[in-house]
Amino acid sequence: MIMNILAIAILGGVAYAWGARGGFSSLLNCVCVLFAGAIAFGLWEHVATWLINSAGSRGMSSLLADVAWGAGLAIPFAISLGILRAITDTLIRKNLKFSPAGDWIVGSLFGVIAGLIISGISVLSLSGMRIGSDAWGYEAISSDAAGNVQRGSALWVPTDRLTTQLYSRLSRGTFSSPDPLAKWNPDPAVFAASTRASFGSGTARNALERKDFEVIGRYELDPAKMQAPAPAKAAPGTAHAPTTSGDPNDLRADALDPTPQNIKLFEGGAPGKDAKLEGVILKFRAGAKERTSGQVIIGNGQVYLLTQDPAGDTNFVFPSAVVTKAEAGKVAIARFRYDAKDTFLASLGGDSESNWAFEFFVPADQTPLGIVVKGTRVYFDPTAEKFQPVVFENRGKRDALIAAGQLTSGKSGRPLDESKAVSVTMGSGGGSDTSSGVSPTNQIGLVLQDGTLGSGMTVTNGRIISGKTLLTPKDTQNRGVDQNLRVDRFAPPDQVSLLMVDVGFERGEAGLTGAAAREAQNEASGRAAPFVIDSNGVRYDAVGYVYQDPQKVEIRYIIGEPIQSVADDLPSVSRSRPDQRLKLVFAPSTGTEIVGWGVGNKLVAKFVPPVKMDVPQR
């Protein structure tokens, strides 16, 4: 309701204002608005990307990412309109007068055109901000009962769609370019709504930096190229081979669920029996996680393929399923359907990176151009090997790779240099051992008092939920503090157990001052991140630390913001300062076995035996 009223009010207000100022003035303004809109749409993605990259992780600067896709359009429009109006007002100082009636009619006509564009860009700008999925009563996309993303209802006066249709046509005509708006953003109203289709009714993240994810592969199942799977063989000692229900090559089903999924295209209608299944494998990095939960959370409204049909028109194709990790602490994967309204899937445990294979049903005559994830677009470069799809000859081949955990895994894929890793002997059974400096615990190791930690720290029931604080050593001498005010633990999220690793000077080669850690930082130009790695090869980020020296105590624990750089995000420790102590807080999945810790691509220390993350942490 609010967005409808706003769109009409802007349209009507501009039309009335310029109708009253006369036909010639209204014409000049309309030309300025038209050109300013073209400039704004041309710069939209560039400005928004700059804002996202400039956003901080906390505080007011973090709001830049929340408003980037809206401000990225509004800012260049407002600036260019102001400049164009200043130029025309300077060069054309006199007005042309018609009859009062003629002035009003012509002025109102061009006022309506200008008002339509201003109203449309205003609606698109607001829609691109983190204001909830319904955007004040307006949903340009929606999900049906079967989970299919469909075009939503239009505004009473659809100024946003009319504006985008105008500039889409101009991008292939008068304002044409090698990369026209009509090709890469065929309906900005859908694009803006997609960025807001996030978890929590649009309150979760609506933007990602390009470095937060990567396309690492593609695959394809094309009915025109598929072959019937080989008949199953009878097991030794049995008379008959096992039978499977349903069509083994029905792409709407899989080995675990033979019931065909009810799939519809974005514009409605079934995709057709000759539709291809296109899979795109994405690796999400730590920067893609939600700041509150520390998980990557994705619904099928925030990811879509851009495909091109034989007429050269670009279409939206939203995913119907995703293949990703099935259980925290394991490498097993499974296929999950987006088969219900408002279905969202989340990464499991505390993995530093998570791989997701999104599956799309694409009409047979359409070709994928690229993928858009929370507004950020990746072009499928035909010259790059990773963008060349692997073609499966039947559905069973894909299902077999899923069952084997090989279609997409949670493994890092980056080489790990163990040449300078030292062995650290752990306690019996891989449990807690203070002498090793490695302990599976959520205890801080200090006793703090609630109410003295500052506004940057959130505490509940004596446990630190999130935040960062700077104290003096005197602030930690609270052994006799009242139990209700005592703070001595971190709060681990579900499916995660915390691991404390001492990396200070006292740990020698097994710490940050050792050769392996220092070489890793030098090779990565200071951007090397600390990690622990489990027996399956899955890495987990550091999410906090406890630093102590004679002058200060610094504590940091933020699950959704992993440590990205030893040099930038951690207090420095030196061989010349033996009075410094630094413990890192890691967040591996519960039930895993941690085999060591490292920095960048170098393993610093091996834990012998591995540390079992099975100790209950209250």
* 247-301 pLDDT, tens digit each: 788 999 998 899 999 999 999 999 999 999 999 999 999 889 988 788 999 999 9
pLDDT of 234 strictly over 50: no
Compute the residue count for the chain: 618
The pLDDT value recorded for residue 499 is 95
Do 458 and 381 fall within a single domain? no
The pLDDT value recorded for residue 410 is 35
More reliable by pLDDT, 215 or 327 = 215
- Residue 239 is assigned to a structural domain of this protein: no
Per residue in 39-78, pLDDT (tens digit) is 999 999 999 999 999 987 766 778 899 999 999 999 999 9
pLDDT of 235 strictly over 50: no
Structural domain boundaries enclosing 164: 2-195
The torsion angle over the Cα atoms of residues 23, 25, 27 and 30, rounded to 10 degrees, is: -130
The percentage of residues in the chain with a pLDDT greater than 70, rounded to a whole number, is 94
Question: Per the structure, how many domains does the chain have?
Answer: 3
Do 318 and 434 fall within a single domain? no
Residue type (1 letter), 101? A
**Which pLDDT band holds residue 413 (cuts at 50, 70, 90)?**
very low
- Residue 413 is assigned to a structural domain of this protein: no
Asked which of 342, 371, 403 is the last residue of a domain, the reply is 403
Do 396 and 468 fall within a single domain? no
Per-position DSSP letters for 403-442, written without gaps between them: HTT-SS-S---S--B-TTPEEEEPPGGG--BGGGTEE---
- Residue 144 is assigned to a structural domain of this protein: yes
Long-range CB contact pairs, 491-495, < 8 A, 24+: 491/442, 491/460, 491/463, 491/464, 491/465, 492/442, 492/587, 492/617, 493/293, 493/294, 493/559, 493/587, 495/328, 495/329, 495/348, 495/349, 495/589, 495/590
Do 263 and 140 fall within a single domain? no
**Which pLDDT band holds residue 328 (cuts at 50, 70, 90)?**
confident
The pLDDT value recorded for residue 414 is 55
Do 287 and 264 fall within a single domain? yes
Do 389 and 513 fall within a single domain? no
The pLDDT value recorded for residue 559 is 86
Decide: residue 213, CB within 10 A, 0-12 exposed, 13-18 middle, 19+ buried: buried
- Residue 370 is assigned to a structural domain of this protein: yes
- Residue 415 is assigned to a structural domain of this protein: no
The pLDDT value recorded for residue 599 is 95
Q: What is the pTM of this model?
A: 0.82
- Residue 235 is assigned to a structural domain of this protein: no
- Residue 279 is assigned to a structural domain of this protein: yes
More reliable by pLDDT, 392 or 57 = 392
Asked which of 368, 403, 438 is the last residue of a domain, the reply is 403
Strands 354-362 and 303-308: unpaired
Do 395 and 341 fall within a single domain? yes
The pLDDT value recorded for residue 412 is 40
Q: Which two tokens stand for residue 310?
A: 């034989």
Residues 6 or more apart whose Cβ sits within 8 Å of residue 208: 52, 287, 288, 373, 374, 375, 376
Do 451 and 582 fall within a single domain? yes
- Residue 411 is assigned to a structural domain of this protein: no
Per residue in 559-614, pLDDT (tens digit) is 888 898 898 899 999 988 889 999 999 999 888 999 999 999 899 999 999 999 98
The pLDDT value recorded for residue 525 is 60
Do 389 and 467 fall within a single domain? no
